[in-house]
């Protein structure tokens, strides 16, 4: 039996299917504050015997240069040292190959390096550090984690953009965070406080508090038993004036009389995330048009026209460093046909309160980011269109 020589003392090469593949040895700059962990070497890396010298590396270091970080400032590692064979359209190592190569090796090499931050690029890097890709890099990216006492910033691998992915905006946002993290910014998050309104006395006190704040902007969100505004029911109504505190009106108090009393208050710019959904439900329930001035989903679209990135949870995580606060309610929704009515009231109300607090804070953040032209497009095109489409939908024509 031929004894296989290990390519690194702590890599389990003798058990790995990649043992006879070309590899790039581990070399890194001592005392670098930023460690970069991508996937596996590509063809160009094998030729030059260096990490991140191909097209992906050029994209990465061009972006890092924009925030003042040079290649020579970084310590470079890889999730797998060997160049994997082509599998489908990519040369991605398997989970087992990553574990055999990196479980012991990376702990020794990176911990000894003592960087302030690890930039983990792609699912392979997450597998190498944490044992699994979690919810996938597009959901994990941008959220600071910790590994052996070292901060980890997950982000998309530049190769995904070269292969036609639309994640450049997310990638650039992550890169822009790096110098702030290295400078000590913690991105600590304080969730909104949530108070449930369960009595008439509390409701009337809330009405008086709101009147005392006008004129003002208030975020609003409803939770419902389903998506059909003609037949499903409202489970609660949540509002937030400041973004730091939310008030959730319990289901028992969501009567026509009380809600009309709330929405008839003068001097309020009502704000929703995907306003059409909430407004259609409230319009059906109350039998009258519900005023709304802002839609944070459309503000998000004004700033970034990509599809699939404008959901409230995604934006709250991206813009406000919010945690995965939906996790607590997901466990009560085993399939796509599950109803929010199945969620225990306490968990549902807390979730609704977070929704409105983050909606209010996102509205202010978008206002800060929008320039004059974007603001004009939002005010004169998008918001009037929402009201028009709502009326068209009620006439029987469904418009996306």
Residue 118: predicted pLDDT: 97
Total structural domains in the chain?
2
CATH number at residue 310: 3.30.420.10
- Taking alpha carbons only, the member of 266, 294, 305 closest to residue 379 is 294
Considering the domain architecture, whether residues 94 and 208 belong to the same structural domain is answered as no
Does the predicted TM-score (pTM) go above 0.85?
no
**C-alpha distance from residue 57 to each of 41, 54, 199, 237 (Å):** 11, 5, 60, 49
Considering the domain architecture, whether residues 202 and 105 belong to the same structural domain is answered as no
Tell whether 8 is covered by a domain: no
- Taking alpha carbons only, the member of 33, 79, 32, 88 closest to residue 52 is 79
Q: Given phi > 0 = left and psi -120 to 50 = alpha, else beta, which region is 122?
A: left
Q: Is the bond preceding 215 in cis, omega lying within 30 degrees of 0?
A: yes
Residue 1: predicted pLDDT: 40
Neighbouring-strand partners of residue 249? 197, 237
Considering the domain architecture, whether residues 142 and 226 belong to the same structural domain is answered as no
Neighbouring-strand partners of residue 154? 120
pLDDT in tens, the chain (400 residues): 446 788 999 999 999 999 999 999 877 777 899 999 999 999 999 999 999 999 999 999 999 999 999 998 899 999 999 999 998 888 899 999 999 999 999 999 999 888 999 999 999 999 999 988 777 888 888 888 999 999 999 999 998 888 766 688 889 889 999 999 999 987 778 899 999 999 999 999 999 999 999 999 999 999 999 999 999 999 999 999 999 999 999 999 999 999 999 999 999 999 999 999 999 999 999 999 998 999 999 999 999 988 888 999 989 988 888 988 998 999 999 998 899 999 999 999 999 999 999 999 999 999 999 999 999 999 999 999 998 988 898 888 877 6
Is residue 168 a contact partner of residue 161, using CB atoms and an 8 Å limit? yes
- Taking alpha carbons only, the member of 365, 346, 272, 270 closest to residue 312 is 272
- Taking alpha carbons only, the member of 44, 4, 38, 43 closest to residue 20 is 4
Is residue 151 a contact partner of residue 117, using CB atoms and an 8 Å limit? yes
Is residue 354 a contact partner of residue 320, using CB atoms and an 8 Å limit? no
CATH number at residue 151: 3.40.470.10
Tell whether 4 is covered by a domain: no
Considering the domain architecture, whether residues 68 and 214 belong to the same structural domain is answered as no
SS3 at position 184? coil
- Taking alpha carbons only, the member of 147, 144, 125, 148 closest to residue 184 is 144
Give the range of the structural domain holding residue 112, as residue numbers without chain letter: 13-182
Considering the domain architecture, whether residues 80 and 201 belong to the same structural domain is answered as no
Is residue 271 a contact partner of residue 218, using CB atoms and an 8 Å limit? yes
Is residue 51 a contact partner of residue 71, using CB atoms and an 8 Å limit? no
Pair of tokens at residue 159: 């190769």
Is residue 158 a contact partner of residue 212, using CB atoms and an 8 Å limit? no
Q: Are strands 234-240 and 193-197 parallel, antiparallel or unpaired?
A: unpaired
Considering the domain architecture, whether residues 244 and 199 belong to the same structural domain is answered as yes
Tell whether 187 is covered by a domain: no
| 325: Cβ contacts below 8 Å, ≥ 6 apart | 191, 313, 316, 351, 354
User: Which of 122, 152, 182 is at the close of a domain?
Assistant: 182
CA–CA distance, 295 with 293 (Å, rounded to integer): 7
Considering the domain architecture, whether residues 208 and 177 belong to the same structural domain is answered as no
Pair of tokens at residue 34: 């930023």
Considering the domain architecture, whether residues 159 and 203 belong to the same structural domain is answered as no
Considering the domain architecture, whether residues 326 and 283 belong to the same structural domain is answered as yes
Tell whether 188 is covered by a domain: no
CA–CA distance, 310 with 304 (Å, rounded to integer): 9
**C-alpha distance from residue 90 to each of 93, 99, 121, 131 (Å):** 9, 19, 16, 21
CA–CA distance, 58 with 61 (Å, rounded to integer): 5
């Amino acid at each position: 039996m031929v004894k296989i020589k290990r390519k690194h003392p702590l890599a389990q090469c003798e058990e790995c299917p990649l043992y006879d593949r070309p590899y790039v040895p581990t070399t890194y700059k001592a005392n670098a504050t930023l460690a970069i962990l991508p996937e596996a070497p590509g063809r160009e890396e094998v030729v030059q015997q260096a990490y991140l010298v191909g097209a992906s590396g050029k994209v990465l270091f061009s972006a890092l240069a924009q925030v003042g970080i040079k290649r020579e400032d970084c310590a470079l590692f890889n999730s797998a040292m060997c160049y994997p064979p082509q599998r489908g359209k990519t040369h991605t190592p398997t989970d087992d190959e990553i574990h055999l190569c990196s479980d012991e090796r990376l702990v020794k090499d990176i911990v000894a390096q003592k960087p302030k931050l690890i930039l983990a690029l792609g699912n392979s890097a997450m597998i190498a550090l944490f044992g699994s890709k979690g919810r996938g890099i597009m959901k994990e990216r941008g959220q600071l984690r910790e590994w052996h006492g070292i901060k980890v910033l997950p982000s998309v691998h530049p190769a995904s953009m070269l292969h036609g992915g639309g994640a450049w905006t997310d990638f650039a946002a992550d890169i822009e965070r790096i110098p702030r993290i290295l400078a000590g910014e913690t991105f600590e998050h304080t969730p909104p406080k949530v108070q449930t309104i369960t009595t008439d006395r509390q409701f009337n006190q809330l009405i008086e508090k709101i009147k005392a704040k006008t004129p003002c902007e208030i975020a609003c969100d409803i939770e419902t038993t389903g998506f059909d505004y003609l037949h499903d029911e409202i489970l609660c109504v949540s509002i937030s004036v400041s973004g730091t505190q939310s008030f959730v009106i319990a289901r028992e108090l969501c009567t026509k009389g009380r809600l009309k009393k709330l929405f008839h208050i003068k001097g309020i710019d009502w704000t929703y995330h995907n306003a059409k959904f909430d407004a259609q439900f409230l319009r059906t329930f109350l039998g009258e048009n519900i005023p709304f001035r802002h839609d944070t989903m459309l503000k998000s679209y004004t700033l970034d026209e990509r599809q699939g990135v404008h959901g409230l949870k995604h934006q709250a995580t991206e813009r406000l460093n919010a945690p995965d606060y939906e996790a607590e309610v997901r466990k009560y929704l085993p399939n796509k046909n599950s109803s929010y009515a199945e969620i225990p009231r306490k968990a549902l109300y807390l979730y609704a309160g977070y929704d409105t607090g983050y909606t209010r804070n996102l509205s202010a953040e978008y206002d800060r980011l929008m320039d004059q032209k974007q603001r004009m497009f939002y005010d004169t095109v998008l918001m009037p269109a929402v009201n028009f489409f709502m009326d068209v939908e009620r006439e029987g024509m469904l418009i996306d």
